[in-house]
């Protein structure tokens, strides 16, 4: 009998196609060098991480984006990037079906590093109405901390009324999984295949659909 009482899902790269891959494609298509992309999106104190913690407004992030890309001479802009980003990245129906199947069987939560707390809920969460899928949704832009900071996982567990060791956490980013595992969560890495569904089925002891 499994001791797991909850399943907690990332959104981008798990319930949707990977925003990381799409951002790389955006930068490549607009002539933004890799080192500039990394400077914007990589560091914990970089513009994107600060945006995810609501330390920057959308306008503030757009200004930082423009400042970083200026030497590249690209026609892209921070404002254009945000308009593109908020279009979403396309649902992964096989993963959404798993979440729907688990409703009423285990506690369900989501932890997402997202941006722009003033945006409508679905635009904040990659175009998916996650608030109708999960019992609780913890958004970095709302709580002011982001994965892999321990506090964001603790907030999710507190809201679900569980201890970390009673949850399985799914994410497509290794650093985020390490943060959850350090607190005692069981972790599953999601890739472009359905292997994570196999692992989740084994972890929960609940047969899961395959689309």
Residue 93 pLDDT exceeds 90: yes
Tell the burial category of 3 from Cβ atoms under 10 Å away from its Cβ (0-12, 13-18, 19+). exposed
The percent of residues in the chain predicted with pLDDT above 90, rounded, is 80
* H or E element at residue 170: strand 167-171
CA distance linking residue 86 with residue 159, whole number of Å: 27
Alpha carbon of 36 to those of 26, 31, 33: distances in Å?
13, 10, 5
- What pLDDT does 1 receive? 41
- What pLDDT does 129 receive? 83
Domain covering 6-17+90-204 in this structure, CATH number: 3.40.50.1000
Contact 131, 137 (CB under 8 A): yes
Provide the edge-to-edge strand list for the sheet that holds 136-139.
Answer: 136-139, 107-112, 6-9, 167-171, 186-189
Query: Which residues, in sequence order, are CB contacts of 64 under 8 Å at separation 6+?
Result: 40, 47, 56, 78
CA distance linking residue 15 with residue 127, whole number of Å: 10
Residue 26 pLDDT exceeds 60: yes
**What's phi and psi for 98, nearest 5 deg?**
-65, -45
- What pLDDT does 124 receive? 60
CA distance linking residue 82 with residue 84, whole number of Å: 5
Confidence of residue 2 (pLDDT cuts 50, 70, 90): low
User: What stretch(es) of the chain map to CATH 3.40.50.1000?
Assistant: 6-17+90-204
Confidence of residue 86 (pLDDT cuts 50, 70, 90): confident
Confidence of residue 122 (pLDDT cuts 50, 70, 90): low
């Amino acid at each position: 009998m499994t001791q797991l009482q909850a399943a907690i899902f990332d959104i981008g790269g798990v319930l949707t196609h990977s925003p990381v891959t799409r951002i790389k494609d955006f930068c490549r298509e607009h002539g933004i060098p890799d080192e500039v992309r990394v400077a914007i999106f990589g560091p914990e104190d970089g513009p994107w991480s600060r945006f995810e913690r609501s330390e920057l407004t959308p306008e503030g992030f757009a200004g930082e984006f423009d400042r970083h890309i200026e030497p590249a001479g690209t026609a892209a802009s921070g404002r254009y990037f945000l308009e593109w980003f908020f279009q979403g990245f396309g649902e992964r129906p096989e993963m959404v079906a798993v979440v729907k199947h688990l409703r009423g069987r285990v506690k369900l939560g989501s932890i997402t590093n997202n941006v722009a707390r003033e945006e409508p809920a679905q635009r904040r969460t990659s175009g998916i109405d996650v608030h109708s899928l999960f019992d609780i949704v913890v958004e970095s832009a709302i709580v002011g901390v982001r994965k892999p900071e321990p506090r964001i996982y603790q907030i999710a567990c507190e809201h679900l009324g569980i201890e970390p060791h009673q949850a399985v956490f799914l994410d497509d980013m290794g650093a985020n999984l390490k943060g959850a595992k350090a607190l005692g969560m069981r972790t599953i890495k999601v890739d472009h295949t359905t292997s994570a569904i196999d692992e989740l089925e084994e972890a929960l002891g609940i047969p899961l659909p395959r689309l």
